Amino acid sequence: MEKRTFLKTGIFMGIAAATTSFLEACKTVDKNPPSTVAPTLPPPKLRRTTPFTLPPLGYDVAALEPHIDKMTMEIHHGKHHNAYVNNLNDAVKDTVYAEYELEDIIARISTSDTDKKIRNNGGGHWNHSFFWKTIVPDGGNAPSANLAAAINATFGSQDKFKEQFSNAAKSVFGSGWAWLCVGKDKKLFVSSTPNQDNPLMLNVSKQPGTPILGLDVWEHAYYLKYQNKRPDYITAFYNLINWKVVSERFEKAGG
Ligand code: MN
């Protein structure tokens, strides 16, 4: 080998080795992202120009009887959800979130004390808007073939999924939510969050993901009818799930 060729080859191999170790390092970082560091998000696309408003239920307050009673729905939607909307409008005034759409706020909210009111009420508004669409008067039909296959693959069977989801909902200590989500790896997982947190809060959630099904287990969601019997409320929920909407969310999340 000529000296010049030898040098060129040597330099090339050096660069190749450095590149390989750099790529390996990237892979390692990607495989184990620090849970406390959120991914860099693109700037918000939409600028909101009107206040947040209470979305309509889409069905009558009495339509979920006997599983969820009329008075619970009146208070839950008309008072509790409405309060989250009003408090959120108040909380975002004069902040960086003032013109953000709800999804952009949720993705960026931090655990700091200054963000607390926006986190609680932004989560409250998002979670309830999501929940009203998750349940439907003539619910309890079946998931799509794709979602049913994914549920079977992840949990073993539809019944095993229900068992895991119910356990997550029962295990929330105090107030919070149980979720079925699509993870970054496009696989399903069950989780729960305290208070009004949700898996879309990248800086807050221990297990970020895209929720496709959620159950409110705050006492205000069931206490009038079920009192301390949260498991009975969870069982009743399965009669109300709008699997058509949940299946559409699953497809949209790339699951
Ligand atoms: Mn609620």
pLDDT in tens, 102-115: 999 999 999 999 99
pLDDT interval class at 140 (50, 70, 90): confident
Domain span(s) for CATH 3.55.40.20 in the chain: 145-252
What is the rounded CA–CA span in Å between residue 165 and residue 144?
A: 18
132 CA → ligand 1 middle, Å: 10
Q: Which fold has domain 70-134?
A: Helix Hairpins (1.10.287)
pLDDT in tens, 145-202: 999 999 999 999 999 999 999 999 999 999 999 999 999 999 999 999 999 999 999 9
Helix residue spans in 61-175 (DSSP H): 70-75, 82-92, 102-108, 116-134, 145-155, 158-171
181 CA → ligand 1 middle, Å: 19
246 CA → ligand 1 middle, Å: 19
50 CA → ligand 1 middle, Å: 24
3-state secondary structure of 213: strand
3-state secondary structure of 192: strand
Q: Which of these, 217, 234, 118, lies nearest to 175 by C-alpha position? A: 217
User: Angle at the Cα of 109 (from 104 to 111), degrees rounded to 5?
Assistant: 170
What is the rounded CA–CA span in Å between residue 160 and residue 33?
A: 30
176 CA → ligand 1 middle, Å: 9
pLDDT interval class at 43 (50, 70, 90): confident
User: Looking at the predicted structure, is the pLDDT value of residue 28 above 90?
Assistant: no
Task: Please give the backbone phi and psi of residue 204, each rounded to the nearest 5 degrees, phi first.
Answer: -115, -45
Residue 64 CA: distances (Å) to CA of 108, 148, 249? 34, 25, 22
Q: Would you state the pLDDT for residue 233?
A: 98
Burial of 14 (0-12, 13-18, 19+ CB in 10 A): exposed
Q: Which of these, 213, 209, 212, lies nearest to 249 by C-alpha position? A: 212
81 CA → ligand 1 middle, Å: 7
Spelled out in words, what is the top-level CATH class assigned to the domain 145-252?
alpha beta
